[in-house]
Chains A and B, each alone.
Chain A
Amino acid sequence: MTDKRMTEDEVVAELRSGMTIGIGGWGSRRKPMSLIRAILRSDLDDLTIVAYGGPDLGLLCAAGKVRKAVYAFVSLDTIPLEPHFRAARQSGAIEDEPWDEGLLLLGLQAANWRVPFLPTRVGLGSDLFRDNPRLRTVTSPYDDGETLVAAPALRLDAALVHLNRADPRGNAGYLGPDPYFDDLFVGAADKAYVSAEYVVPTDDLEPTVGLTRLLISRLQVDGVVEATGGAHFTSCVPDYDRDETFQKSYAASAKSAEAWAEFKSAWLDLSESDYQEKRAAEAAA
Protein backbone atom coordinates (compact mmCIF):
# COMPACT_ATOMS: atom_id res chain seq x y z
CA MET A 1 0.00 0.00 0.00
CA THR A 2 1.33 3.40 -0.96
CA ASP A 3 1.11 6.00 1.75
CA LYS A 4 0.92 9.32 -0.13
CA ARG A 5 1.00 11.64 2.86
CA MET A 6 3.24 14.66 2.49
CA THR A 7 3.47 18.27 3.66
CA GLU A 8 2.40 21.39 1.81
CA ASP A 9 6.01 22.34 1.17
CA GLU A 10 6.73 18.86 -0.24
CA VAL A 11 3.83 19.32 -2.68
CA VAL A 12 5.14 22.68 -3.78
CA ALA A 13 8.62 21.18 -4.26
CA GLU A 14 7.09 18.96 -6.96
CA LEU A 15 5.68 21.95 -8.87
CA ARG A 16 7.63 24.07 -11.37
CA SER A 17 7.46 27.65 -12.57
CA GLY A 18 5.48 27.98 -15.79
CA MET A 19 3.11 25.12 -14.95
CA THR A 20 -0.63 25.09 -15.58
CA ILE A 21 -2.25 24.44 -12.20
CA GLY A 22 -5.94 23.75 -11.61
CA ILE A 23 -7.42 24.69 -8.25
CA GLY A 24 -10.63 23.12 -6.91
CA GLY A 25 -13.42 24.67 -4.87
CA TRP A 26 -15.66 27.52 -6.04
CA GLY A 27 -15.41 31.25 -5.29
CA SER A 28 -14.52 31.56 -1.62
CA ARG A 29 -15.56 27.99 -0.81
CA ARG A 30 -13.41 24.93 0.01
CA LYS A 31 -10.21 26.28 -1.53
CA PRO A 32 -6.87 24.54 -0.83
CA MET A 33 -5.57 27.67 0.88
CA SER A 34 -2.73 26.03 2.83
CA LEU A 35 -1.28 24.83 -0.48
CA ILE A 36 -1.74 28.33 -1.94
CA ARG A 37 0.05 29.79 1.07
CA ALA A 38 2.89 27.31 0.49
CA ILE A 39 3.16 28.47 -3.14
CA LEU A 40 3.31 32.06 -1.87
CA ARG A 41 6.29 31.13 0.33
CA SER A 42 8.08 29.48 -2.64
CA ASP A 43 9.94 30.93 -5.60
CA LEU A 44 7.43 29.51 -8.10
CA ASP A 45 6.13 32.01 -10.63
CA ASP A 46 4.87 32.37 -14.21
CA LEU A 47 1.90 30.10 -13.39
CA THR A 48 -1.23 29.56 -15.46
CA ILE A 49 -4.09 29.13 -13.01
CA VAL A 50 -7.33 27.36 -13.96
CA ALA A 51 -10.12 27.88 -11.43
CA TYR A 52 -13.65 28.79 -10.48
CA GLY A 53 -11.80 31.63 -8.87
CA GLY A 54 -11.78 33.14 -5.43
CA PRO A 55 -9.03 34.28 -3.06
CA ASP A 56 -6.78 31.51 -4.40
CA LEU A 57 -6.40 33.40 -7.66
CA GLY A 58 -6.46 36.77 -5.90
CA LEU A 59 -3.60 35.88 -3.55
CA LEU A 60 -1.48 34.41 -6.33
CA CYS A 61 -2.05 37.56 -8.42
CA ALA A 62 -1.19 39.85 -5.51
CA ALA A 63 2.04 37.93 -4.96
CA GLY A 64 3.00 38.17 -8.65
CA LYS A 65 2.87 34.41 -9.23
CA VAL A 66 0.40 34.45 -12.13
CA ARG A 67 1.17 34.72 -15.83
CA LYS A 68 -2.32 33.80 -17.04
CA ALA A 69 -5.76 33.35 -15.49
CA VAL A 70 -8.10 30.76 -17.05
CA TYR A 71 -11.46 31.27 -15.35
CA ALA A 72 -15.18 31.93 -15.66
CA PHE A 73 -15.45 34.23 -12.66
CA VAL A 74 -13.46 35.40 -9.65
CA SER A 75 -15.47 36.25 -6.55
CA LEU A 76 -15.26 36.23 -2.77
CA ASP A 77 -19.04 35.46 -2.61
CA THR A 78 -19.93 37.86 0.22
CA ILE A 79 -17.60 40.39 -1.44
CA PRO A 80 -18.73 39.96 -5.06
CA LEU A 81 -15.60 41.28 -6.79
CA GLU A 82 -12.11 39.98 -5.87
CA PRO A 83 -10.05 43.15 -5.31
CA HIS A 84 -6.58 41.67 -5.85
CA PHE A 85 -7.65 39.98 -9.08
CA ARG A 86 -9.22 43.24 -10.23
CA ALA A 87 -6.01 45.12 -9.52
CA ALA A 88 -4.00 42.60 -11.56
CA ARG A 89 -6.41 42.83 -14.48
CA GLN A 90 -6.70 46.61 -14.43
CA SER A 91 -2.94 47.10 -14.30
CA GLY A 92 -2.46 44.62 -17.15
CA ALA A 93 -0.22 42.46 -14.95
CA ILE A 94 -1.74 39.15 -16.09
CA GLU A 95 -2.94 37.50 -19.28
CA ASP A 96 -6.64 36.70 -19.30
CA GLU A 97 -8.38 33.70 -20.84
CA PRO A 98 -12.10 33.89 -20.14
CA TRP A 99 -14.42 30.87 -20.11
CA ASP A 100 -18.07 30.29 -19.38
CA GLU A 101 -18.67 28.27 -16.17
CA GLY A 102 -20.19 25.33 -18.01
CA LEU A 103 -17.65 25.51 -20.81
CA LEU A 104 -14.89 25.16 -18.20
CA LEU A 105 -16.59 22.01 -16.90
CA LEU A 106 -16.57 20.59 -20.45
CA GLY A 107 -12.88 21.47 -20.94
CA LEU A 108 -11.98 19.62 -17.75
CA GLN A 109 -14.23 16.70 -18.69
CA ALA A 110 -12.62 16.45 -22.14
CA ALA A 111 -9.19 16.32 -20.50
CA ASN A 112 -10.44 13.56 -18.19
CA TRP A 113 -11.69 11.52 -21.14
CA ARG A 114 -8.57 12.21 -23.26
CA VAL A 115 -10.59 13.64 -26.15
CA PRO A 116 -9.53 16.94 -27.77
CA PHE A 117 -12.88 18.66 -27.25
CA LEU A 118 -16.52 18.27 -26.30
CA PRO A 119 -19.31 19.88 -28.34
CA THR A 120 -21.71 22.41 -26.86
CA ARG A 121 -23.73 25.49 -27.78
CA VAL A 122 -22.11 27.43 -24.93
CA GLY A 123 -20.29 30.49 -26.21
CA LEU A 124 -21.95 30.83 -29.63
CA GLY A 125 -22.49 34.49 -30.50
CA SER A 126 -20.66 35.79 -27.43
CA ASP A 127 -17.40 37.74 -27.14
CA LEU A 128 -15.73 34.63 -25.73
CA PHE A 129 -14.66 34.15 -29.35
CA ARG A 130 -13.09 37.63 -29.31
CA ASP A 131 -11.36 37.26 -25.96
CA ASN A 132 -10.39 33.58 -25.81
CA PRO A 133 -8.38 32.66 -28.91
CA ARG A 134 -8.23 29.02 -27.82
CA LEU A 135 -11.89 28.48 -28.74
CA ARG A 136 -12.95 26.99 -32.09
CA THR A 137 -16.23 25.81 -33.56
CA VAL A 138 -16.93 22.39 -35.05
CA THR A 139 -19.53 21.23 -37.56
CA SER A 140 -21.63 18.24 -36.61
CA PRO A 141 -20.82 15.31 -38.95
CA TYR A 142 -24.44 14.12 -38.70
CA ASP A 143 -27.41 15.14 -40.81
CA ASP A 144 -28.17 18.22 -38.70
CA GLY A 145 -24.83 19.77 -39.72
CA GLU A 146 -25.01 22.13 -36.75
CA THR A 147 -22.22 24.51 -35.84
CA LEU A 148 -21.18 23.97 -32.24
CA VAL A 149 -18.44 25.17 -29.94
CA ALA A 150 -15.61 22.66 -29.48
CA ALA A 151 -14.77 23.11 -25.80
CA PRO A 152 -11.05 22.33 -25.82
CA ALA A 153 -9.57 19.84 -23.38
CA LEU A 154 -8.05 21.71 -20.43
CA ARG A 155 -5.11 19.53 -19.54
CA LEU A 156 -3.42 20.50 -16.27
CA ASP A 157 0.13 19.90 -15.10
CA ALA A 158 -1.11 19.73 -11.53
CA ALA A 159 -4.33 19.99 -9.56
CA LEU A 160 -4.77 21.18 -5.97
CA VAL A 161 -8.04 20.45 -4.14
CA HIS A 162 -9.22 20.55 -0.52
CA LEU A 163 -11.71 18.01 0.82
CA ASN A 164 -13.15 17.43 4.28
CA ARG A 165 -11.75 13.91 4.79
CA ALA A 166 -9.16 11.75 3.05
CA ASP A 167 -7.26 8.56 3.71
CA PRO A 168 -3.47 8.17 3.38
CA ARG A 169 -3.83 6.59 -0.06
CA GLY A 170 -5.70 9.52 -1.65
CA ASN A 171 -9.36 8.56 -1.41
CA ALA A 172 -11.29 11.61 -0.30
CA GLY A 173 -14.80 12.88 0.35
CA TYR A 174 -16.69 16.12 0.91
CA LEU A 175 -19.17 16.80 3.70
CA GLY A 176 -20.61 20.12 2.48
CA PRO A 177 -23.44 20.77 0.04
CA ASP A 178 -21.59 20.72 -3.28
CA PRO A 179 -18.76 18.62 -4.74
CA TYR A 180 -17.91 21.54 -7.06
CA PHE A 181 -15.61 20.17 -9.78
CA ASP A 182 -12.78 18.81 -7.67
CA ASP A 183 -12.86 15.32 -9.18
CA LEU A 184 -12.65 16.80 -12.70
CA PHE A 185 -9.66 18.97 -11.77
CA VAL A 186 -7.96 15.90 -10.30
CA GLY A 187 -8.71 13.78 -13.36
CA ALA A 188 -7.53 16.47 -15.78
CA ALA A 189 -4.10 16.74 -14.14
CA ASP A 190 -0.82 14.91 -14.60
CA LYS A 191 -0.24 15.22 -10.86
CA ALA A 192 -3.00 15.70 -8.31
CA TYR A 193 -2.65 16.72 -4.68
CA VAL A 194 -5.47 16.49 -2.15
CA SER A 195 -5.42 18.33 1.13
CA ALA A 196 -8.03 17.45 3.72
CA GLU A 197 -9.19 18.68 7.10
CA TYR A 198 -8.43 15.23 8.51
CA VAL A 199 -6.64 12.20 7.13
CA VAL A 200 -8.30 9.10 8.58
CA PRO A 201 -7.66 5.37 8.16
CA THR A 202 -9.38 3.91 5.09
CA ASP A 203 -11.77 1.85 7.22
CA ASP A 204 -12.97 5.06 8.89
CA LEU A 205 -13.45 7.03 5.67
CA GLU A 206 -16.75 5.75 4.25
CA PRO A 207 -18.44 5.45 7.65
CA THR A 208 -17.49 9.11 8.27
CA VAL A 209 -18.25 10.57 4.87
CA GLY A 210 -20.96 8.33 3.40
CA LEU A 211 -20.79 6.39 0.14
CA THR A 212 -22.14 9.04 -2.23
CA ARG A 213 -19.77 11.71 -0.91
CA LEU A 214 -16.58 9.79 -1.75
CA LEU A 215 -15.67 12.11 -4.63
CA ILE A 216 -11.96 11.46 -5.20
CA SER A 217 -10.30 8.10 -5.84
CA ARG A 218 -6.68 7.21 -5.00
CA LEU A 219 -6.24 6.07 -8.63
CA GLN A 220 -5.80 9.71 -9.60
CA VAL A 221 -4.05 11.12 -6.55
CA ASP A 222 -0.31 11.62 -6.08
CA GLY A 223 -0.15 13.32 -2.70
CA VAL A 224 -2.26 13.74 0.42
CA VAL A 225 -1.79 16.56 2.91
CA GLU A 226 -3.46 16.70 6.29
CA ALA A 227 -4.40 20.36 6.56
CA THR A 228 -6.74 21.05 9.46
CA GLY A 229 -8.01 24.57 8.83
CA GLY A 230 -6.39 24.30 5.42
CA ALA A 231 -9.26 26.02 3.60
CA HIS A 232 -9.20 29.03 5.93
CA PHE A 233 -10.41 31.75 5.31
CA THR A 234 -12.72 30.19 2.73
CA SER A 235 -15.66 28.07 3.89
CA CYS A 236 -15.27 24.36 4.51
CA VAL A 237 -18.70 23.45 5.86
CA PRO A 238 -19.62 21.64 8.00
CA ASP A 239 -16.14 21.80 9.52
CA TYR A 240 -16.21 25.61 9.52
CA ASP A 241 -17.80 28.60 7.79
CA ARG A 242 -15.98 31.28 5.88
CA ASP A 243 -14.02 33.64 8.18
CA GLU A 244 -15.74 36.82 7.05
CA THR A 245 -13.73 39.09 9.33
CA PHE A 246 -10.48 37.72 8.00
CA GLN A 247 -11.76 37.90 4.41
CA LYS A 248 -12.60 41.57 4.90
CA SER A 249 -9.08 42.31 6.09
CA TYR A 250 -7.70 40.34 3.13
CA ALA A 251 -9.86 42.37 0.72
CA ALA A 252 -8.84 45.64 2.39
CA SER A 253 -5.18 44.76 1.81
CA ALA A 254 -5.74 45.48 -1.90
CA LYS A 255 -6.12 49.19 -1.14
CA SER A 256 -2.42 50.03 -1.33
CA ALA A 257 1.04 48.52 -1.61
CA GLU A 258 1.54 49.31 2.07
CA ALA A 259 -1.67 47.54 3.08
CA TRP A 260 -0.64 44.47 1.07
CA ALA A 261 2.86 44.48 2.58
CA GLU A 262 1.34 44.64 6.03
CA PHE A 263 -1.07 41.76 5.31
CA LYS A 264 1.70 39.70 3.74
CA SER A 265 4.02 40.22 6.66
CA ALA A 266 1.28 39.42 9.19
CA TRP A 267 -0.24 36.38 7.49
CA LEU A 268 1.86 35.03 4.63
CA ASP A 269 5.50 35.30 5.64
CA LEU A 270 5.13 32.53 8.18
CA SER A 271 4.83 28.76 8.28
CA GLU A 272 1.42 27.10 7.98
CA SER A 273 1.54 25.95 11.60
CA ASP A 274 2.34 29.49 12.75
CA TYR A 275 -0.50 30.80 10.57
CA GLN A 276 -2.97 28.36 12.11
CA GLU A 277 -1.79 29.13 15.66
CA LYS A 278 -2.01 32.86 15.05
CA ARG A 279 -5.46 32.85 13.55
CA ALA A 280 -6.77 30.55 16.29
CA ALA A 281 -5.38 32.98 18.87
CA GLU A 282 -7.01 35.93 17.08
CA ALA A 283 -10.33 34.08 16.86
CA ALA A 284 -10.20 33.38 20.59
CA ALA A 285 -9.28 36.98 21.45
Chain B
Amino acid sequence: MTELELGAPTRAEVCVVAVADVFRGDGEIICNPIGTIPMIGGRLARATFEPDLAMTDGEAKLVANDEAVPAPADLVIEHFNPYRHMFDWVWNAKRHVMMGATQVDRYGNQNIAAIGDYQQPRTQLLGYRGAPGNTINHTTSYWVPNHGPKVVCEKVDTVCGIGYDRAAELGPEVARYHEIRRVVTNLCVLDFETTDHRMRLRSLHPGVTVEEVAAATGFDLVVPDDVPESRLPTDDELALIREVIDPAATREQEVPNP
Protein backbone atom coordinates (compact mmCIF):
# COMPACT_ATOMS: atom_id res chain seq x y z
CA MET B 1 0.00 0.00 0.00
CA THR B 2 1.46 3.37 -0.95
CA GLU B 3 1.43 6.50 1.15
CA LEU B 4 -0.69 8.17 -1.49
CA GLU B 5 -3.46 5.62 -1.08
CA LEU B 6 -3.32 5.93 2.70
CA GLY B 7 -3.25 9.73 2.77
CA ALA B 8 -1.22 11.86 5.16
CA PRO B 9 -1.44 11.01 8.85
CA THR B 10 -3.80 13.14 10.90
CA ARG B 11 -2.90 14.81 14.21
CA ALA B 12 -4.87 12.09 16.00
CA GLU B 13 -2.80 9.42 14.27
CA VAL B 14 0.44 11.13 15.28
CA CYS B 15 -0.89 11.08 18.86
CA VAL B 16 -1.68 7.37 18.51
CA VAL B 17 1.88 6.43 17.59
CA ALA B 18 3.24 8.75 20.30
CA VAL B 19 1.11 6.82 22.79
CA ALA B 20 2.26 3.49 21.36
CA ASP B 21 5.90 4.52 21.78
CA VAL B 22 5.28 5.23 25.46
CA PHE B 23 4.89 1.46 25.98
CA ARG B 24 8.01 0.53 23.99
CA GLY B 25 10.24 -1.82 25.96
CA ASP B 26 7.58 -2.73 28.53
CA GLY B 27 7.54 -6.42 27.62
CA GLU B 28 5.03 -8.70 29.35
CA ILE B 29 3.00 -6.43 31.64
CA ILE B 30 -0.49 -4.94 31.72
CA CYS B 31 -0.66 -2.03 29.29
CA ASN B 32 -3.55 0.01 30.67
CA PRO B 33 -4.23 3.13 28.62
CA ILE B 34 -7.42 4.99 29.64
CA GLY B 35 -9.18 7.04 26.97
CA THR B 36 -9.91 6.73 23.27
CA ILE B 37 -6.54 7.58 21.69
CA PRO B 38 -4.60 5.94 24.56
CA MET B 39 -6.46 2.65 24.00
CA ILE B 40 -5.81 2.81 20.24
CA GLY B 41 -2.13 3.58 20.87
CA GLY B 42 -1.75 0.73 23.33
CA ARG B 43 -3.38 -1.72 20.93
CA LEU B 44 -1.02 -0.47 18.19
CA ALA B 45 2.05 -1.07 20.39
CA ARG B 46 0.89 -4.64 21.03
CA ALA B 47 0.02 -5.29 17.39
CA THR B 48 3.51 -4.21 16.32
CA PHE B 49 6.61 -3.91 18.52
CA GLU B 50 5.37 -5.06 21.97
CA PRO B 51 3.44 -8.26 21.28
CA ASP B 52 3.54 -9.54 24.86
CA LEU B 53 1.63 -6.64 26.43
CA ALA B 54 -1.61 -7.66 28.12
CA MET B 55 -4.67 -5.43 27.73
CA THR B 56 -8.21 -5.20 29.06
CA ASP B 57 -11.58 -4.93 27.37
CA GLY B 58 -12.17 -1.85 29.54
CA GLU B 59 -13.78 -4.05 32.19
CA ALA B 60 -12.99 -7.37 33.82
CA LYS B 61 -11.23 -9.27 31.05
CA LEU B 62 -7.77 -9.35 29.51
CA VAL B 63 -8.34 -9.77 25.79
CA ALA B 64 -6.13 -10.60 22.81
CA ASN B 65 -8.13 -8.55 20.29
CA ASP B 66 -6.44 -5.87 18.18
CA GLU B 67 -9.63 -3.82 17.84
CA ALA B 68 -9.72 -0.94 20.36
CA VAL B 69 -13.37 -1.69 21.12
CA PRO B 70 -14.06 -5.29 20.12
CA ALA B 71 -17.63 -6.47 19.74
CA PRO B 72 -18.56 -8.60 22.78
CA ALA B 73 -19.13 -11.67 20.59
CA ASP B 74 -15.63 -11.34 19.11
CA LEU B 75 -13.72 -11.09 22.40
CA VAL B 76 -10.70 -13.38 22.64
CA ILE B 77 -10.38 -13.68 26.40
CA GLU B 78 -7.01 -14.45 27.99
CA HIS B 79 -7.73 -13.91 31.66
CA PHE B 80 -10.33 -13.02 34.28
CA ASN B 81 -9.27 -9.58 35.53
CA PRO B 82 -11.84 -8.01 37.87
CA TYR B 83 -10.98 -4.74 39.59
CA ARG B 84 -9.66 -6.45 42.72
CA HIS B 85 -7.23 -8.46 40.62
CA MET B 86 -6.10 -5.29 38.84
CA PHE B 87 -4.89 -4.00 42.22
CA ASP B 88 -2.65 -7.08 42.49
CA TRP B 89 -1.02 -6.06 39.21
CA VAL B 90 -0.72 -2.45 40.41
CA TRP B 91 0.93 -3.38 43.69
CA ASN B 92 3.17 -5.89 41.88
CA ALA B 93 4.36 -3.25 39.39
CA LYS B 94 3.22 -5.44 36.49
CA ARG B 95 1.40 -2.53 34.91
CA HIS B 96 1.96 0.73 33.05
CA VAL B 97 -1.08 2.97 33.16
CA MET B 98 -1.81 6.00 31.01
CA MET B 99 -4.31 8.18 32.85
CA GLY B 100 -5.95 11.47 32.00
CA ALA B 101 -5.07 14.65 33.87
CA THR B 102 -7.29 17.65 34.48
CA GLN B 103 -4.14 19.33 35.79
CA VAL B 104 -0.51 18.22 35.49
CA ASP B 105 2.51 20.25 36.61
CA ARG B 106 6.22 20.45 35.74
CA TYR B 107 7.13 17.49 37.94
CA GLY B 108 4.23 15.34 36.76
CA ASN B 109 1.92 15.83 39.74
CA GLN B 110 -1.60 15.09 38.50
CA ASN B 111 -5.07 16.15 39.63
CA ILE B 112 -8.34 14.43 38.74
CA ALA B 113 -10.14 15.04 42.06
CA ALA B 114 -11.28 18.65 42.33
CA ILE B 115 -10.46 22.16 41.08
CA GLY B 116 -10.07 24.92 43.67
CA ASP B 117 -10.09 24.50 47.44
CA TYR B 118 -10.52 20.80 48.16
CA GLN B 119 -12.94 21.27 51.07
CA GLN B 120 -15.44 23.13 48.90
CA PRO B 121 -14.19 22.87 45.36
CA ARG B 122 -15.12 25.16 42.52
CA THR B 123 -15.40 22.07 40.34
CA GLN B 124 -15.71 18.56 41.72
CA LEU B 125 -14.16 15.99 39.38
CA LEU B 126 -13.99 12.20 39.63
CA GLY B 127 -12.11 11.87 42.89
CA TYR B 128 -8.62 10.51 43.56
CA ARG B 129 -9.53 7.23 41.80
CA GLY B 130 -6.44 5.00 41.71
CA ALA B 131 -3.89 7.73 41.02
CA PRO B 132 -2.06 7.67 44.39
CA GLY B 133 -1.67 3.89 44.24
CA ASN B 134 -0.70 3.81 40.58
CA THR B 135 2.05 6.41 40.79
CA ILE B 136 3.78 5.07 43.91
CA ASN B 137 3.70 1.49 42.61
CA HIS B 138 4.46 1.45 38.89
CA THR B 139 5.14 3.38 35.70
CA THR B 140 2.54 6.00 34.83
CA SER B 141 2.07 8.22 31.78
CA TYR B 142 -0.54 10.87 31.06
CA TRP B 143 -2.75 11.76 28.13
CA VAL B 144 -3.80 15.38 27.63
CA PRO B 145 -6.06 15.87 24.59
CA ASN B 146 -6.54 19.59 25.37
CA HIS B 147 -3.07 21.04 26.06
CA GLY B 148 -3.55 24.49 27.60
CA PRO B 149 -2.05 26.55 30.44
CA LYS B 150 -4.77 25.59 32.93
CA VAL B 151 -4.16 21.90 32.22
CA VAL B 152 -0.37 21.75 31.89
CA CYS B 153 -0.13 24.20 34.74
CA GLU B 154 2.12 25.84 37.31
CA LYS B 155 0.54 24.14 40.33
CA VAL B 156 -2.10 21.44 40.65
CA ASP B 157 -4.81 22.09 43.24
CA THR B 158 -4.80 18.51 44.54
CA VAL B 159 -2.00 15.99 44.10
CA CYS B 160 -3.66 12.67 43.20
CA GLY B 161 -0.87 11.12 41.12
CA ILE B 162 2.49 12.06 42.62
CA GLY B 163 5.22 13.72 40.57
CA TYR B 164 9.00 13.65 40.81
CA ASP B 165 9.28 16.36 43.50
CA ARG B 166 6.91 14.48 45.80
CA ALA B 167 8.72 11.22 45.05
CA ALA B 168 12.08 12.87 45.87
CA GLU B 169 10.71 14.00 49.23
CA LEU B 170 9.83 10.40 50.00
CA GLY B 171 13.38 9.30 49.22
CA PRO B 172 14.83 6.85 46.73
CA GLU B 173 13.93 3.73 48.74
CA VAL B 174 10.26 4.55 49.31
CA ALA B 175 9.76 5.86 45.78
CA ARG B 176 11.77 3.17 44.03
CA TYR B 177 8.84 2.05 41.86
CA HIS B 178 7.84 5.59 40.86
CA GLU B 179 8.25 6.59 37.21
CA ILE B 180 6.32 9.17 35.24
CA ARG B 181 7.45 8.25 31.79
CA ARG B 182 5.75 10.64 29.44
CA VAL B 183 2.89 13.05 28.83
CA VAL B 184 1.38 12.87 25.36
CA THR B 185 -0.74 15.85 24.36
CA ASN B 186 -2.58 16.99 21.26
CA LEU B 187 0.39 19.31 20.53
CA CYS B 188 3.52 17.46 21.57
CA VAL B 189 5.24 14.79 23.63
CA LEU B 190 6.68 15.72 27.02
CA ASP B 191 9.01 13.76 29.30
CA PHE B 192 11.01 14.21 32.51
CA GLU B 193 14.46 13.22 31.20
CA THR B 194 16.26 16.15 32.83
CA THR B 195 18.65 16.15 35.78
CA ASP B 196 15.97 17.28 38.26
CA HIS B 197 13.06 15.63 36.42
CA ARG B 198 11.51 18.88 35.27
CA MET B 199 9.17 18.47 32.33
CA ARG B 200 10.92 18.66 28.97
CA LEU B 201 9.61 19.11 25.47
CA ARG B 202 10.51 15.82 23.80
CA SER B 203 8.96 16.26 20.35
CA LEU B 204 6.54 18.48 18.48
CA HIS B 205 3.68 17.11 16.43
CA PRO B 206 3.97 18.19 12.77
CA GLY B 207 2.81 21.78 12.29
CA VAL B 208 3.20 22.74 15.97
CA THR B 209 5.86 25.29 17.04
CA VAL B 210 7.81 25.64 20.28
CA GLU B 211 6.11 29.02 20.79
CA GLU B 212 2.69 27.44 20.47
CA VAL B 213 3.53 24.83 23.12
CA ALA B 214 5.06 27.48 25.39
CA ALA B 215 1.91 29.59 25.15
CA ALA B 216 -0.21 26.54 25.99
CA THR B 217 1.87 25.66 29.05
CA GLY B 218 1.49 27.36 32.43
CA PHE B 219 5.21 27.23 33.34
CA ASP B 220 8.61 27.34 31.61
CA LEU B 221 9.23 24.00 29.94
CA VAL B 222 12.74 22.70 29.45
CA VAL B 223 13.21 23.13 25.70
CA PRO B 224 16.28 21.53 24.09
CA ASP B 225 18.09 23.41 21.33
CA ASP B 226 16.81 21.01 18.73
CA VAL B 227 13.34 19.65 19.29
CA PRO B 228 12.57 16.80 16.93
CA GLU B 229 9.28 16.28 15.18
CA SER B 230 7.10 13.55 16.67
CA ARG B 231 7.48 10.24 14.89
CA LEU B 232 5.09 9.75 12.00
CA PRO B 233 3.18 6.51 11.64
CA THR B 234 4.60 4.00 9.18
CA ASP B 235 2.39 2.76 6.37
CA ASP B 236 1.85 -0.50 8.23
CA GLU B 237 0.89 1.41 11.37
CA LEU B 238 -1.53 3.65 9.48
CA ALA B 239 -3.17 0.65 7.88
CA LEU B 240 -3.53 -1.05 11.25
CA ILE B 241 -4.98 2.06 12.90
CA ARG B 242 -7.45 2.77 10.11
CA GLU B 243 -8.53 -0.70 9.12
CA VAL B 244 -8.18 -2.87 12.21
CA ILE B 245 -7.82 -1.01 15.50
CA ASP B 246 -10.12 1.97 15.00
CA PRO B 247 -12.08 1.57 11.76
CA ALA B 248 -14.81 3.91 13.08
CA ALA B 249 -12.17 6.69 13.36
CA THR B 250 -13.17 7.57 16.93
CA ARG B 251 -9.64 9.01 17.32
CA GLU B 252 -10.56 11.93 15.05
CA GLN B 253 -13.33 13.01 17.44
CA GLU B 254 -10.97 13.10 20.42
CA VAL B 255 -8.33 15.17 18.62
CA PRO B 256 -9.67 16.93 15.51
CA ASN B 257 -7.23 17.49 12.68
CA PRO B 258 -6.04 21.14 12.74
- Chain A contact residues, CB within 8 Å of chain B: 26, 53, 71-75, 80-81, 85-86, 89-92, 96, 98-103, 105, 120-128, 130-131, 146-147, 177-181
Distance A105 CA – B87 CA, assembled complex (angstroms): 9
A125 touches B136 (CB 8 A): yes
B82 touches A178 (CB 8 A): yes
In the complex, chain A residues whose CB is within 8 Å of the CB of B8: none
What are the 8 tightest A-B residue pairs by CB atom distance, in nearest-first order?
Answer: A122-B133, A73-B127, A126-B132, A89-B124, A177-B60, A125-B166, A125-B162, A92-B120
Q: Which residue of the partner chain A has the closest CB to B123?
A: A90
Comparing B38-46, B111-119, B202-210, the segment that makes contact with chain A is: B111-119
Distance A96 CA – B127 CA, assembled complex (angstroms): 10
Choice from A90, A127, A180 contacting B120 with Cβ under 8 Å: A90
In the complex, chain A residues whose CB is within 8 Å of the CB of B114: 89
Shortest distance from the beta carbon of B70 to any chain A beta carbon, whole Å: 14
In the complex, chain A residues whose CB is within 8 Å of the CB of B61: 177
Choice from B90, B128, B174 contacting A98 with Cβ under 8 Å: B128
CB of B230 within 8 Å of the partner chain: no
A100 touches B131 (CB 8 A): yes
A124 touches B174 (CB 8 A): yes
Choice from B118, B128, B173 contacting A126 with Cβ under 8 Å: B128
A128 touches B128 (CB 8 A): yes
Enumerate 27 A-B pairs (CB-CB under 8 Å) in ascending A order: A73-B128, A80-B126, A86-B124, A89-B120, A89-B124, A96-B118, A98-B127, A99-B128, A100-B129, A100-B130, A102-B90, A103-B133, A120-B91, A120-B133, A122-B136, A123-B132, A124-B162, A124-B170, A124-B174, A125-B136, A125-B159, A126-B135, A126-B161, A130-B118, A177-B60, A177-B82, A179-B84
Q: Which residue of the partner chain B has the closest CB to A91?
A: B120
In the complex, chain A residues whose CB is within 8 Å of the CB of B211: none
B113 touches A75 (CB 8 A): no
In the complex, chain B residues whose CB is within 8 Å of the CB of A71: 127
A121 touches B91 (CB 8 A): yes
A100 touches B118 (CB 8 A): no
Shortest distance from the beta carbon of B111 to any chain A beta carbon, whole Å: 9
B87 touches A126 (CB 8 A): no
Shortest distance from the beta carbon of A250 to any chain B beta carbon, whole Å: 17
Choice from B83, B128, B173 contacting A146 with Cβ under 8 Å: B173
Shortest distance from the beta carbon of B34 to any chain A beta carbon, whole Å: 11
Q: Which residue of the partner chain A has the closest CB to B117?
A: A92
Distance A236 CA – B126 CA, assembled complex (angstroms): 22
Q: Which residue of the partner chain B has the closest CB to A212?
A: B80
In the complex, chain A residues whose CB is within 8 Å of the CB of B174: 121, 124, 146-147
Distance A206 CA – B113 CA, assembled complex (angstroms): 41
In the complex, chain A residues whose CB is within 8 Å of the CB of B135: 125-126
- Chain B contact residues, CB within 8 Å of chain A: 59-61, 82-84, 87, 90-91, 113-114, 118-133, 135-137, 158-162, 166-167, 169-170, 173-175, 177
Starting from the known contacts A125-B166, A178-B82, 4 additional A-B residue pairs (CB-CB under 8 Å) come to A89-B124, A102-B133, A125-B167, A128-B132
Q: Which residue of the partner chain B has the closest CB to A88?
A: B124
Given known contacts A125-B175, A177-B60, A178-B82, is B87 in contact with A102 (CB within 8 Å)?
Answer: yes
A127 touches B160 (CB 8 A): yes
Distance A90 CA – B87 CA, assembled complex (angstroms): 30
In the complex, chain A residues whose CB is within 8 Å of the CB of B131: 100, 126
Given known contacts A96-B119, A177-B61, A180-B82, is B160 in contact with A81 (CB within 8 Å)?
Answer: no
Distance A122 CA – B137 CA, assembled complex (angstroms): 8
B159 touches A127 (CB 8 A): yes
Shortest distance from the beta carbon of A99 to any chain B beta carbon, whole Å: 7
A178 touches B126 (CB 8 A): no
In the complex, chain A residues whose CB is within 8 Å of the CB of B132: 100, 103, 122-126, 128
Distance A8 CA – B151 CA, assembled complex (angstroms): 45
Choice from A53, A91, A101 contacting B133 with Cβ under 8 Å: A101
Q: Which residue of the partner chain A has the closest CB to B162?
A: A125
Distance A53 CA – B127 CA, assembled complex (angstroms): 10
Which of B113, B119, B177 has the most C-beta atoms of chain A within 10 angstroms of its own C-beta?
Answer: B113
Q: Which residue of the partner chain B has the closest CB to A86?
A: B124
Choice from A92, A101, A181 contacting B130 with Cβ under 8 Å: A101
Shortest distance from the beta carbon of A15 to any chain B beta carbon, whole Å: 25
A121 touches B130 (CB 8 A): no
Distance A93 CA – B121 CA, assembled complex (angstroms): 11
Distance A180 CA – B120 CA, assembled complex (angstroms): 30
Distance A91 CA – B124 CA, assembled complex (angstroms): 10
Distance A129 CA – B60 CA, assembled complex (angstroms): 30
Shortest distance from the beta carbon of B134 to any chain A beta carbon, whole Å: 9
In the complex, chain A residues whose CB is within 8 Å of the CB of B120: 89-92
Distance A228 CA – B91 CA, assembled complex (angstroms): 38
In the complex, chain A residues whose CB is within 8 Å of the CB of B118: 96, 127, 130-131
